[in-house]
Structures are given as C-alpha cells and as structure tokens.
Amino acid sequence: MANQTYPRPDFERTSLRWESLDGPWDFIFDDDDIGISARWQNSGLPDEVAVRLGDASSDGAFAKSDAITQRIAAGTQDLLPGNLLAKTGLTAVNRKRQIHVPYVFQCPASGINERGVHQVLWYQRSFTDPRGDQAKGQDGRVLLRFGAVDYEARVWVNGCRVGSHRGGHVPFDLDVTDALDQAGTDNHRLVVRVFDSAYNLTQPRGKQYWGAKPESIFYTPSAGIWQSVWLDVVPSTRIADSSKGTVLRSNDIESGDLHSHIVVLGRRIGQPCSVEVEASLGGVTVSKSESTALPNNKDSVDIVLNLRIKDDQRLVLPEDIKEGADRWHNGVALWAPEHPTLYEVTIKLIDPASNKTLDVIKTSTGIRSIEWDRGDGQWRLNGKPYFQALCLDQGYWPDTFMTASSAQLKHDIVLAKKMGFNGCRKHQKVENPLFYYWADRLGYLVWAEMANAYEFSPESLDNTRSINDNCGWEHVQTDLSTFHDYSDGAELAKTCASLDAILDKKAGRHLFVPSIDNNELGTQHKPGAPIMCTEFGGVNIAPSAGSKEGDRDWGYTTARDSEDLLARVERTDIEQEANGLFTFDRREKLPAEKVKGIIDAAVGAFHERVSRL
C-alpha cells in the first residue's frame, strides 16, 4: 500500500477511527461510455465489455497541440512525428482486472501499466462499516475521503449515488452514513466512475501530456484515483477542517496572537456548543482559552490566544527550542527554515449543558510573518530580508508518477535541504497535503501553483473562479506574475538589466493582459514588489558513453560534466527531462556538499549586500 498511516496527520482526531481503502480494487476501461446506461453502479462491474475502436480525436485538439508544445518549449527539440494518443484496430474487449489504488493505470505500480486512450474508468471494491457491529443508531457519521481523483468522479455505495466531484487536484469527502444504514448488509459495494479527457486542452492538466509518448517538458498523463482513499468515523457535531472554513492565522509576531476561526459542522438547530483552544510548545502548555459559546445564529466562533512564553515556562522547554536568538521575538518562538518551531494546538468542542466533549482535534501552527510590500523590492521572513534558495519541484516518481508515500515526500525535502535549498516552487501540481505537513516540520518554504490548462475557455476567463497562478501563460487576476525567458546569456542579461525590460513583451506576447475597463487587477506591476528568479539553468547533463538512455533526454542546453552544472532548473530528472540535480530515482548527479557550498556563498553575498543598504 502507498500509505499505512493516517493520510492527514495535520488534522487528527483524538478519537480517531478510520480504515484505509488503498490496495486492490476491481477496474475496467469503459471506452464506449456505456457503464451508466448498463447500470454498472447497481449490478457491479462486468467481467468484460466489447468496445469499438475509432480515430484518435474528433475535436481538432491535436491541430493545436504541436504549436502549443513548441511555443512553450521554445523549439529546443524536434517533436516526435505522429505522437497522438490513438485507438487502433476495429474492435477489442476490455476485461475487468485489479488495480492497486492509489496508483494510476498508466504507471507500473498500479499493476496495469498501460498507455493509450482510456477516458472513462470504473473502480469497484467492497468494505465493511468502520463503526463495527453496533453501527446503526450510533452518534457518528462515516465520511468517504478521496485525496485526489483526476478528473471527474461519480461515486455510488450499494447502488446509491452518494456524490460527485470535478477537479483532479484537491481532496473531497462524501457522507456515506445513510447509504450504509439503509443497506441491510455488513458488506458494502463502492463503485467509482472517473472521466478524464485525453484531448480537452481547457481542462487543467499541468505537465500531463496529450500525446502518446512524453516529450519536451511534458510527461505521461495520470488518470483516475492518484491519492489515498479512506473512511473516517467522525462525530455528528464536529469541528470542520480548513477546507470547510476553520482557519488558524499565526502571522502576528509582534503580539504573538493566534487568531482562530473555528467552524462547526452538523450542529442541530438550537444545539448549544462551546469551543476551547489550547496551545503548547515542546510539551509545555503555553496558553488556554476560556470556553467560548457559539452564537445561535452562527456555526462558527473566533478565539484569540496569546502564544508568548513566560520566563518560567521557557526554563522547562527542551534545549533545542529555547536556545538561539533568531528563534525568538517578543517571547514568541518563531518558525523559519533554520528553526521550524511549531506550536501544538488542541481544539475542543463541548456540549455546555452536559459538559460532554463532542470532538477534539490535534493540529499545529508556526508563528511567522511574511512581507513583500514595503516598496523596497525585498521579501521578508519574520521582519528581516530573506534569501529564498529555491529549487523547482514537479512531484513525479519513476514507478508511481504523481503519487508518493509520506516517507518519499519527506525524503525529497531532506535531499533538497542537504544541497542547501530552503524551499521549492511546486510546479504545475497541487501536492499531497502530506508534503506540506513535512515542509512545516522540516523547515521548507513552498511556492505553490495550480496545474494550468493550455487553452482558454469561458470558465478559465471567469474572474469569479480563484486562480493562484497560470505559470508561463497569460495572467488574468493573480497575486503573482511570472514569465519564462530562454534566451542565451548575453540577451538574458540585457533583459534583466532593468525593470522595464523584465516587464516587457515575452515571445511577442504581453506579460500582462491588456487593460480592461473597470478591471485593473492583474494588468500592471506593483512598484516596489519583489522580483523573484525561481527557475534557471535548464541544463541537460549528457549521459555517460555507452548509456542506453539519452536519445530523447531533453534540456534547453547540454552540459558535458559536473563542472558545467552551476545553474540548474529543478531538483530531479523526470522521464525524458534531464535538468535535475538528482536522477529520476533520486541519485545525486554531483556532490551535495558542492551544491550547498555554492548556495551558501550566494546567501552570504545576499546578506552582505543587504547590510549595506
């Protein structure tokens, strides 16, 4: 299994009852999309189904794909001829087989390891009620949780449709309690239908390619379930997680206040509820709030907790926390990559009438401030200019593609820090929440991007839909503006010599969307905002003589040995893309201490320059 531990340790109940659904599932391709009309959701998946095969595409998407690929990759390599996802032959039979969830069918770890056009996928497995023998009538709900399913999912339990979700990059959960209680059986059937277009370029896909073979800067696509699936038993009245509105804001290092907005789900009309918040550091209780009642007209409450450490509390803290001047400010233990100090936070939901505890959540937070708006172009962490030594991280693995275990995600951060990096730009992928869990604990800054589409649609231009960043493409409304420039060194030096040149057209296109009447957001650079270089040196290090690899190895230019590898674009190679400091299987291409020495020297030069300002 990919994950034997609870998938969300950042938000964990003390009365945790859960069951992993990772492992073998029944699986079948539905290439003619007949499953719903044949009522597979009710009868279960068939042993086999005949399918008529046809042409690669009927919507003209591939007429644009080559031009889009060359436009993005700057024409650095000829494209593979005829590289289309295509069906062959006249008829075929798709047979039911087993797939290992949460791995996509295209990857070796799934047990299927098959490429080609399969846009409709069906999954099926059985499970028992995690509440046990006395399930019915208990005061609790059963949630079915999916880490991520690419791209559209419909879900049935015992033939009852329990919900659906559109979007391949974020978690979702469905309450399946009623479907279980009405079944009259101890063994329950879970069926999932997934649709993931192989051709629609308006669908957010990030680096997943629409061709038959990965090439240039694009990789093998990933369709279907690609993160863990599990069942949670939760209280009927419970504390919501961050996706449902609960927020801990801990950026006020001057006051040391933790601002908690706690949302409660499942509250009955008129049900009295109170919330308590407690914070500790290194096993020492720092602060505890009074019990705060939820108002009758709101299912949320705001609580402010001060996290300053008193002198007597600091004396009993572990040595690794209480030492170091940079770690402390106004009695507050600060978070930074050099000292990733976290406060443990306990949120308790109480019925004040009976004094019964309804729910308890364990989570954590770091106290830190981030500033970029003083107008001097500096990015600050905890009030001080900070050098972000970032690498590009695209989150792919050889046998599992976009899926990784908790240990693998942790290991990637450890490897990056070993080379001197203090953070990454997570590129074209919303990563598993476990990655951010380990980033908090190991001290790692993360710039995050949504996977973008490659053709605009009315939906993508709708400014009511939130957009983080459409990296390498036009911008509509966003907090960030980015550009890619793959010119040679001399030409690039001219561009970077002035702000006007940096913000000028790139590849003949405006960096910003032209001004729109009554809508100026995103159409101009804010004077004094920092300009970050987050990716450089897309260099392919040539394979050794006689290597079987390398015919399609890709980079914007080529280095012949490790001495030619000063500037690098990303942490690891991915498939044919050979720009990494590590190989695809995470082996060093050059000594970590050598890279760390270069980065440490750059950090030192930065601080020396800042000290003279």
pTM, full prediction? 0.83
User: Rounded to an integer, what distance in angstroms lies between the CA atom of residue 599 and that of residue 593?
Assistant: 10
- Which residue type sits at 559? A
Give the closest residue to 425 by CA, choosing from 391, 468, 387. Answer: 391
328 forms beta bridges with 333
The top-level CATH class assigned to 12-234 is: mainly beta
Beta strands 300-306; 328-329: pairing state:
unpaired
Question: Cα separation of 474 and 146, whole Å?
Answer: 32
With beta carbons less than 8 A apart as the criterion, state whether 201 and 65 touch: yes
List C-alpha distances in Å: 180 to 22, 41, 42, 73, 606: 20, 15, 15, 51, 60
Q: How many C-alpha atoms does 319 have within 13 Å on its Cβ side?
A: 0
| pLDDT for residue 450 | 86
Distance CA 579, CA 570 (A): 6
**How confident is the model at residue 542, as a pLDDT?**
44
Contact 119, 195 (CB under 8 A): yes
Measured distance CA(32)–CA(561) in Å, rounded: 50
CATH 2.60.40.10 is the classification of domain 238-369: yes
Nearest to 391 by CA among 533, 553, 540, 539: 533
Q: Give me 378's structure tokens.
A: 């500096």
Residues 209 and 220: their CA atoms lie apart, in Å, by: 6
CA distances (Å), origin 64, targets 71, 96, 253, 473, 587: 11, 35, 50, 16, 37
CB-based contact 217:577 (threshold 8 Å): yes
Using DSSP, state whether 93 is helix, strand or coil.
strand
CA 247 to chain centre: 18
What is d(CA 284, CA 286) in angstroms, rounded to the nearest whole number? Answer: 6
Distance CA 445, CA 489 (A): 28
| Contact in structure between 23 and 101 (CB atoms under 8 Å) | yes
> Are the C-beta atoms of 575 and 219 separated by less than 8 Å?
yes
Q: Which residues contact 352 (CB under 8 A, 6 or more apart)?
A: 272, 273, 274, 291, 293
**Residue in this structure with the two tokens 């046990």, named with its chain if needed:** 132
Q: Residues 6 or more apart from 107 whose CB is under 8 A from it? A: 113, 220, 222, 399, 400, 401, 403
List 490's β-bridge partners, or say none: none
How far apart are alpha carbons 366 and 328 in whole angstroms? 12
Residues 6 or more apart whose Cβ sits within 8 Å of residue 336: 326, 327, 368, 381, 382, 443
Please give the Cα distance from 262 to 256 (Å, whole number): 19
Distance in angstroms (rounded) separating the CA atoms of residues 333 and 315: 13
Give the number of other CB atoms < 10 A from CB of residue 311.
Answer: 7
Nearest Cα to Cα of residue 26 among 46, 42, 43? 46
pLDDT, block means (10 residues), the chain with 613 residues: 76 92 98 97 96 58 58 55 55 92 97 91 97 71 97 97 95 96 90 93 82 71 96 96 93 96 95 97 96 95 96 90 87 97 98 95 96 89 94 90 95 95 92 96 93 72 48 46 65 76 68 56 65 63 45 47 44 65 76 90 90 84
10 Å Cβ neighbour count for 565? 18
The domain spans of the chain are: 12-234, 238-369, 380-612
CA trace torsion 511, 514, 520, 526 (10° rounding): 30
Q: Which helix (H) or strand (E) holds 66?
A: helix 62-73
Of 244, 166, 245, the closest CA to residue 459 belongs to: 166
Cα end-to-end span (Å), the chain: 54
User: What is the radius of gyration, based on Cα positions, of the chain?
Assistant: 26
In angstroms, the Cα distances linking 470 to 452, 478, 501 are 6, 8, 21
User: In the structure encoding, which two tokens stand for residue 212, read together?
Assistant: 């038959």
Dist CA 482 CA 38 (whole Å): 48
Is the bond preceding 151 in cis, omega lying within 30 degrees of 0? Answer: yes
Reading the block at residue 505, the tokens are: 């057209």
Per-residue confidence (pLDDT) for residue 36, from 0 to 100: 98
**Which parts of 429-579 are beta strand (E)?**
445-448, 539-541, 557-559, 570-572
Please report the pLDDT score of residue 324 as a whole number: 80
Contact 110, 27 (CB under 8 A): no
